[in-house]
C-alpha cells in the first residue's frame, strides 16, 4: 500500500485480492446492521480497481446519494425559513406580535434544536439512518402544518420550538453520512453542494410565498405557505424512509463488489465508517480542550458565524422590503437571493477541493463579500436602491464559510463517537449563534438595522482569528507527527489494516489533518 497524505483521494490503486461472490460466503445474510468495515470486507468481494472503476463508482454514488441529500436539505431550509416568508405577508400583525416576539420565534426554533442535538446524535448512531430521518421529517412536516392554525404568539412559539427539535437531526446526520461515503478530498465540494441547497430552497420558498401571496382565499396568505410546505415535506419523508441508505455496507443500488469498493475507497480517510458502540473515552477526548481544543474552536467559530445567520435569515425579507420593494417584489427577489446563496456556497466547496491545503483560507476569503455587502447597507444612502440591492446579494457568502467549517469534523476527527460529539459541538455553536443573532437587529434604526450589521462585521473579524488558529493547530499537529516519524518514535503514516479500528485522531499517530 502506498503512503497516505492528508488529502489522499483513494486507497484503491494497487489493491489485489481474490473476488468472492455472495453465494460463496457462508452465513453472509446473518451479518446485521452492527457489522463494521473490516468484517464486511472479510466476507465480501474485493477486486483489483483502476482509476476508471473508482471514478465510475464515485459517479454512481453521486447519482444516487446526492439527490437524496440535496432535496432533503432544500426542503429543510424552506421549512425552516417559512417564518421569514410569512412575515412579509403580515404574519406579525395577524398574530399580534409585539416588540421582540418575532425575533424570539427564531430563537425558540434554535433552542429546540439545541435541546435535541445530542439525544438525536446518540439515537442516530444506533438505528438505520434513512428510516430515522424519514420519520423525523414526517413529524416536523406535521408540526409545520400546525403553524397555519396558530392564532397568537403562544401558539406559534410552541410550534417553532418543536419544529427545531425535529429539524435538528438532519444536518449533523448528513455531515456523518458524507464522511462515510467520500474521501477527505471529495468531502468539501459534496458538503458545499448539499449545503448550497439553502439557496435553491430560498428561491423555491420565494416562489411559493409569491404564489401564495396572489391567492384570494378564506385564509390569510401566510397560512397557505405553511400548508403547502408541510404537504411537500410529508411526501418527501416517505421517499427518504424508503430509499436512503444506512451505510455503504447496506445499500440496494450497489452490488456486493461495489459495496466493498465503496468501503475501500474511504480507507485512507482513517476516520472509519460507522460504529454502533458509544464510547465514553472518545466523548471525554472530544470535550477536553487540554487534549484536543479543535472541537471548542469549531464551537466558537460556529457561534460567531450563526450570530450573523440568525439575523440575516430572519430579517432578510424585511431588509429587502426596507430598500423600497413592495410585498410581492420582496418575495420574488428571494429567487435572486437564493441563486446568490447557491453560487457562493458551492463555489467555496469547489475551490476548497481543487486548491491544495486551502480549506481554512477559503473559510476566511468567503467572509469578505458578506462584509462588503453589509458595509454597503450602512454607507449607501437610502436613495441608492441598486447599490443596496447588490449588497444584499453579497451578504450570504458567509454561509460558504460555515459549510466548510461544519465539514471539518468529518475530515479531521477520527473515532465515530468522537466525531459525533465534535459535530454536536459545532451544531451547539450553530444553535447558540442563531439564538443570539436575531436580537441584534432592531427595527426603526437609521440606517436600517445598523446594529445588526455592526454586530455581524465584528463576528466576521472574530472568525478570521479562529479559522487561522484552527489551521495553525492542525498544521502544528501534522508537523509534530512527521517529526516523530523522522526520529523513529512513530510509525510511517501508511495503511497496514488498522484504518477501520475506530481509533481517534489523537490515538492514531498515523492520522494527518487536512488543511
Q: What is the DSSP string of 54-89?
A: HHHHHHHHHHHHHHHHHHHHHHHHHHHTHHHHHHHT
Angle between helices 280-287 and 416-437 (to 10 degrees): 50
Highest mean pLDDT among 34-38, 145-149, 174-178, 407-411: 145-149
Q: How wide is the angle at C-alpha 77 spanned by C-alphas 120 and 61, nearest 5°?
A: 75
Phi-psi region of 411 (alpha: psi -120 to 50; beta: other; left: phi over 0): alpha
Task: Dump pLDDT digits (tens) for 9-29.
Answer: 334 443 333 333 333 333 333
Closest CA to 507 of 295, 271, 294: 271
Per-residue buried b or exposed e for 125-148, using 16+ beta carbons within 10 Å of the residue's own CB = beebbbebbbebbbbbbbbbbbbb
Question: Distance (Å, rounded) from C-alpha 271 to C-alpha 511?
Answer: 9
Average per-residue pLDDT in the chain? Answer: 81
Task: Dump pLDDT digits (tens) for 111-144.
Answer: 888 888 777 777 776 777 888 899 999 999 999 9
Percent of the chain with pLDDT strictly greater than 70: 84
Task: Dump pLDDT digits (tens) for 170-224.
Answer: 888 888 888 888 888 888 888 888 888 888 887 888 788 777 777 777 888 888 8
DSSP 271: S
Residue 366 dihedral angles phi and psi, to the nearest 5°: -80, 0
Closest CA to 405 of 342, 360, 343: 360
| Grid cell in block for residue 90 | 403580515
Could you tell me which residues come within 8 angstroms of residue 28 by beta carbon, excluding any fewer than 6 positions away?
22, 43, 44
Closest CA to 342 of 151, 507, 508, 194: 194
Q: How many contiguous H segments (helices) and E segments (strands) does the chain have?
A: 21, 0
Amino acid at each position: 500500500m502506498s503512503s497516505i497524505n492528508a488529502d489522499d483521494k483513494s486507497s484503491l490503486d494497487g489493491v489485489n485480492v481474490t473476488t468472492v461472490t455472495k453465494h460463496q460466503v457462508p452465513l453472509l445474510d446473518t451479518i446485521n446492521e452492527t457489522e463494521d468495515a473490516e468484517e464486511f470486507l472479510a466476507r465480501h468481494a474485493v477486486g483489483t480497481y483502476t482509476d476508471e472503476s473508482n471514478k465510475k463508482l464515485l459517479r454512481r454514488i453521486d447519482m444516487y446519494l446526492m439527490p437524496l441529500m440535496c432535496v432533503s436539505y432544500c426542503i429543510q431550509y424552506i421549512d425552516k425559513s417559512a417564518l421569514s416568508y410569512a412575515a412579509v405577508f403580515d404574519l406579525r400583525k395577524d398574530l399580534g406580535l409585539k416588540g421582540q416576539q418575532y425575533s424570539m420565534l427564531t430563537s425558540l426554533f434554535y433552542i429546540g434544536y439545541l435541546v435535541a442535538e445530542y439525544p438525536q446524535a446518540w439515537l442516530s448512531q444506533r438505528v438505520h439512518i434513512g428510516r430515522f430521518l424519514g420519520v423525523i421529517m414526517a413529524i416536523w412536516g406535521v408540526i409545520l402544518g400546525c403553524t397555519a392554525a396558530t392564532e397568537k404568539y403562544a401558539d406559534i412559539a410552541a410550534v417553532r420550538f418543536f419544529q427545531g427539535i425535529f429539524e435538528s437531526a438532519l444536518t449533523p446526520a448528513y455531515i456523518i453520512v458524507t464522511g462515510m461515503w467520500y474521501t477527505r478530498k471529495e468531502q468539501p465540494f459534496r458538503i458545499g453542494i448539499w449545503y448550497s441547497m439553502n439557496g435553491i430552497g430560498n428561491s423555491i420558498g420565494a416562489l411559493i410565498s409569491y404564489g401564495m401571496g396572489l391567492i384570494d382565499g378564506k385564509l390569510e396568505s401566510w397560512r397557505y405557505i405553511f400548508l403547502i410546505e408541510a404537504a411537500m415535506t410529508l411526501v418527501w419523508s416517505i421517499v427518504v424512509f424508503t430509499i436512503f441508505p444506512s451505510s455503504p455496507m447496506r445499500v440496494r443500488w450497489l452490488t456486493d463488489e461495489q459495496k466493498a469498493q465503496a468501503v475501500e475507497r474511504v480507507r485512507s480517510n482513517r476516520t472509519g465508517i460507522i460504529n454502533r458502540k458509544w464510547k465514553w473515552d472518545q466523548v471525554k477526548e472530544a470535550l477536553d480542550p487540554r487534549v484536543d481544543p479543535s472541537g471548542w474552536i469549531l464551537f466558537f467559530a460556529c457561534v460567531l458565524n450563526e450570530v450573523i445567520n440568525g439575523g440575516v435569515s430572519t430579517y432578510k425579507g424585511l431588509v429587502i422590503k426596507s430598500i423600497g420593494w413592495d410585498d410581492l417584489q420582496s418575495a420574488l427577489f428571494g429567487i435572486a437571493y437564493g441563486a446568490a446563496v447557491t453560487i457562493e456556497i458551492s463555489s467555496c466547496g469547489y475551490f476548497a477541493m481543487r486548491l491544495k491545503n486551502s480549506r481554512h483560507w477559503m473559510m476566511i476569503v468567503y467572509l469578505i463579500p458578506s462584509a462588503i455587502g453589509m458595509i454597503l447597507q450602512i454607507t449607501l444612502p437610502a436613495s441608492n436602491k441598486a447599490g443596496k440591492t447588490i449588497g444584499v446579494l453579497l451578504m450570504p457568502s458567509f454561509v460558504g464559510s460555515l459549510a466548510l467549517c461544519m465539514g471539518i469534523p468529518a475530515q479531521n476527527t477520527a473515532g465515530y463517537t468522537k466525531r459525533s460529539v465534535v459535530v454536536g459541538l459545532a451544531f451547539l455553536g450553530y444553535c447558540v449563534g442563531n439564538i443570539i443573532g436575531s436580537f441584534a437587529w432592531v427595527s426603526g434604526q437609521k440606517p436600517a438595522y445598523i446594529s445588526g450589521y455592526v454586530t455581524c462585521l465584528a463576528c466576521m473579524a472574530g472568525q478570521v482569528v479562529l479559522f487561522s488558529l484552527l489551521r495553525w493547530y492542525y498544521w502544528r499537529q501534522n508537523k509534530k507527527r512527521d517529526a516523530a516519524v523522522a526520529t523513529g518514535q512513530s510509525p510511517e503514516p501508511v495503511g497496514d489494516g488498522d484504518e477501520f479500528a475506530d481509533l481517534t485522531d489523537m490515538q492514531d499517530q498515523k492520522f494527518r489533518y487536512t488543511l
